[in-house]
Amino acid sequence: MSRNGTLLLASVMLLVVLVATGCPRAAEPVEPPAAAEPQPGGTLTHLHNASPDNLDPQGTVMAVSWWVFSRMVDTLVTRDHDLGIAPHLAESWEMSKDGLTWTFRLQRGIRFHDGTPFNAESAAFSFNRFAEVARVGILAQLKETVVVDEYTIEMRLTAAAPRFLDDLASHYAGLISPAAVEKYGADFGIAGMVGTGPFKFHEFIPGDRVTLVRNEEYAWGPPIVENPGPAHLERIELLVIPEDMTRVMEFEDRAARGYAVTLTLAPPADVRRLRADPAVQTITRTTTGADILFINTTKWPFDDIRMREALIYAINTQPIVDLLLEGVAVQAHTFISPSQIGYPDAAGPTPAIQRPVDPQRARELFAEAGWLPGPDGILVHQGTGKRAEFGFLTPTGYVGEPEAIVAQLRDLGLDIRMTVLEPAASVAKAREGVYELYLIGYGWPDVSLGFDLFHTRQIGGLNFSFLSDPQVDEQINTALTNLDPEVRAAAWNAAHVRIVQLAPFVPMWYDMLFTFASKAVGGMELVGAHPLWASDIHALDLHYIPGK
Amino acid sequence: MHTLLARRLASMVPIVLGVTIAVFAVLHLAPGCPTTIMLGDHASPEAIEELRNKLGLDDPLYVQYFRWLSGVARGDFGRSIHTRQLVLEMVLQRVPATMELTFAAMILSLVIAVPVGVISATKQYSVVDHATMAGALFGVSMPVFWQGLMGMLVFGFLLGWLPISGRGGLEHLILPAITLGTSQAGLIARLTRSSMLEVIRQDYITTARSKGLAERVVIAKHALKNALIPVVTILALQLPALFGGAVITETVFAWPGMGRLIVTSIFVRDFPVVQAVTLIMAMVVILCNLLADVSYIFLDPRIRYDS
């Protein structure tokens, strides 16, 4: 190629790169949100990285499916601002003394989107179908639901369930139309989904988009919302954009054009940028869960509690949170999160009971367990002569945190061999118990799942530390079944203290969850005010602000 | 000709079967079970086992395979484990989007690459030749992922000329088609050039020129037709590669085609969907090969398979 040709090509390439990277679109001035009365109309577009699998509340466990179907269904009871239980489609209820029977009196004058009246018959159908087919792990004790009269149902349980009302407040237990279930058959949740909620099913193209339209007849919003119905927004659509950069670009483009658009699950670098952008509204929440480093308590040498305690003293999550996760996570001090329902009871008056970071103490514990530094600095077991080489499994998706942990442990003489697998494969491998260490995060609205992580019944399931302790199991069982709130609180706390004593995990961090919205989305402050981020309820209060 | 077609079509059967067996084995041997993903974090081992049993996932692999195969033979691809949608319906919903994207990319690459290759060959060693071949090299070398994001950033986000993502009108097709077609265009341009260079040195081209035919006619009517034989071969063989490229392009541009479907389905271990898409892909590859062979007969009358 001639020199001129080379220069021409190089110039064109440089121009493209400069245009692409060096000349960001100027930020447009943004006025503060108007305080005017919300006007009906407009479409809210939510950009998400995954597609709902199915919109049948009883046929899915995916969070993104919940995001959609929770706008189409109502529940018998709901949560108030203090996380207490408030009536919704049920006017009132009572529990039998043995806790095995619950009687609910239902609201009148409510109709499903297809015109089917909401009454005891349709409610009984919903719950009996739930007991038969539901995938989500709630209402496990529900045996059957029977019709008492046109607006009264009786729900019978196999065992007392103190969290029964909490489970009923979940939109997975939302009421669905019997006529629609019959009409759509196996395609219910894909070809159509019918509830009593503020939005109606319009279109679902799995993997691409979902569109809901306003239920014009809706007038029975829960007491927590300002607008009982119909919703201000005319449409809500969810667009599936799997690639992070594309999703963020699409959000910023739509926001700049004045569309009502929201975004979750942005990459950390974009989170920092979007939070600082005055043209974007941000709602921040700490995740209802935690990232945890599980230690396999059955695998030598970590069947020795001193080795597990040494890891807790050795790993310092502060620099990881400060440098790698700056602004998108906070340090965790235990396996449950302050954002979870039930945390104050479970954590007790002194929640920060984990040991402080102390590398010297870690070295002492390694030495006590018979591990001393070899010629290359790696610890060697004095009894067997084995080097401290251990397997560490993590799922894809972390951005350097596992490497930081490996480096910290290397400084203390542990040779950690890291394996990265995509999430489903990593869970399957962790269950086999081959690796000594496994890093993963979980999320659940209340503390129960956090405790399940250490229950014997979850070995082969979610108990990745393979901890099996009768005291822990007994306290968890009590906390899950006893009807006395004080006994339950004491049991949660006792289980928590015992688990921490046994050191089967190292607490890592609590992720921060961000929802970003364009200025054209009104009512976000109401969503932000709710402790559980109940955007399902507040879809009634969301509205479109033209010209923003 | 007919014998060739019959023979090749018959050979499809063992190849397709082999592909489906290999994919089935790989999928099931990979760690991770769909039931765990379906039931979520809170599921107990008993619940997972119960669902495995219900879905027949605890049967021996050969039983599961033959169950699937007998369903396919009856035209029943089953239901998706993940969404519970009919697999055939899911796939057919996605086929138009992928076809639209791949054919647009192919046409775009041909429209750009063939003239570029011809001009480059006829102006060998000129600045134009160097520039176009450097461009072709750049096109072949550029990662599809990076190119897609750059196109999106410049023409979608910064300039606002084109939509950033999704499927809709013609304007939605432009960026993904360019992204997918660029490496194809680079390859075809280089191939057309070398093929043309070979042809225009042949005696019959000299004869055509000596008859006093215009250069345009010599190139277009005499040289190009023969130079296109290897191009057509590559084109047919590259069509499956385009489908493969569509996996990345569809993900980057949120294009609801089969590429995205198979990626999502692999992540959630949706075996029936992965099997169905693989089956279709395998058939496309085989048919494209057959198409390449058949096209020779029309492009070069000297080729006779029957003899």
Give the residue-averaged pLDDT of B181-192.
Answer: 88
Q: What is the pTM of this model?
A: 0.82
User: What is the pLDDT at residue B306?
Assistant: 56
Cβ-defined contact of B131 to A442 (cutoff 8 Å): no
CA distances to A291, A298, A306, A391 from A294, in Å: 10, 12, 15, 12
Q: Does residue A194 surpass a pLDDT of 90?
A: yes
Give the residue-averaged pLDDT of A36-60.
Answer: 89
Cβ-defined contact of B83 to A424 (cutoff 8 Å): no
Interface predicted TM-score of the whole assembly (ipTM), two decimals: 0.81
Q: Does residue A27 surpass a pLDDT of 80?
A: no
- B44 vs B109: which has the higher pLDDT: B109
Cβ-defined contact of B165 to A2 (cutoff 8 Å): no
Cβ contacts of residue B88 below 8 Å, gap of 6+? B75, B76, B77, B276
User: What is the pLDDT at residue A31?
Assistant: 45
Pairing, β A101-106 against β A90-95: antiparallel
Residue B215, number of CB atoms within 10 A of its CB: 11
Alpha-carbon gap, residue B293 to B3, rounded angstroms: 13
pLDDT in tens, A15-26: 333 333 333 333
Cβ-defined contact of B39 to A428 (cutoff 8 Å): no
Q: Does residue A82 surpass a pLDDT of 80?
A: no
Q: B50: which chain A residues are within 8 Å (Cβ-Cβ)?
A: none
Adjacent-strand bridge partners of A281: A517
Q: Does residue A320 surpass a pLDDT of 50?
A: yes
pLDDT in tens, A353-389: 566 889 999 999 999 999 999 999 999 999 999 999 9
Q: Smallest Cα–Cα separation from A434: which of A296, A339, A539, A302? A: A296
User: What is the pLDDT at residue A537?
Assistant: 54
Of B32, B79, B83, the CB nearest to A428: B32
Cβ-defined contact of A249 to B267 (cutoff 8 Å): no
Instruction: Determine contact: B113 vs chain A, CB below 8 A.
Output: no
What percent of chain A is predicted at pLDDT more than 90? 59
Q: Does residue B1 surpass a pLDDT of 70?
A: no
pLDDT in tens, B104-119: 999 999 999 889 998 8
Q: Smallest Cα–Cα separation from B194: which of B118, B131, B108, B295? A: B118
User: What is the pLDDT at residue A207?
Assistant: 87
Give the residue-averaged pLDDT of A459-473.
Answer: 93
Q: Give the pair of three-digit tokens for residue B297.
A: 């007969």
Helix (H, G, I), strand (E, B) or coil at A536: helix
User: What is the pLDDT at residue A535?
Assistant: 47
Instruction: Determine contact: B130 vs chain A, CB below 8 A.
Output: yes
User: What is the pLDDT at residue A1?
Assistant: 38
Residue A384, number of CB atoms within 10 A of its CB: 10
CA angle B298, B303, B306 (to 5 degrees): 105
Q: How far is CA A532 from the centre of its chain?
A: 11
Instruction: Determine contact: B261 vs chain A, CB below 8 A.
Output: yes
Check if the beta carbon of residue B144 is closer than 8 Å to that of residue B101.
Answer: no
Give the residue-averaged pLDDT of B149-172.
Answer: 92
User: What is the pLDDT at residue A153?
Assistant: 97
Which helix (H) or strand (E) segment is A90 a member of? strand A90-95
Residue A26, number of CB atoms within 10 A of its CB: 6
Check if the beta carbon of residue A449 is closer than 8 Å to that of residue B42.
Answer: yes
Q: A62: which chain B residues are within 8 Å (Cβ-Cβ)?
A: 40
User: What is the pLDDT at residue B42?
Assistant: 63
CA distances to A298, B141, B205 from B121, in Å: 70, 21, 14
Of A207, A242, A249, the CB nearest to B153: A249
With a CB-CB cutoff of 8 Å, which residues 163-222 of chain B face chain A?
A: 164-167
> Poorest-confidence range of A38-42, A447-451, B233-237?
B233-237
CA distances to A249, A278, A438 from A47, in Å: 11, 20, 31
In this prediction, residue A525 has a pLDDT band, given cuts at 50, 70 and 90, of: confident
pLDDT in tens, B216-260: 888 888 888 888 888 887 887 777 778 778 889 999 999 999 988
User: What is the pLDDT at residue A315?
Assistant: 95
Q: Give the pair of three-digit tokens for residue B23.
A: 């994919």
Q: A245: which chain B residues are within 8 Å (Cβ-Cβ)?
A: 149, 152
Can you spell out the DSSP letters for A131-173?
HHH--SS-STTEEEEEEEETTEEEEEESS--TTHHHHHTSGGG
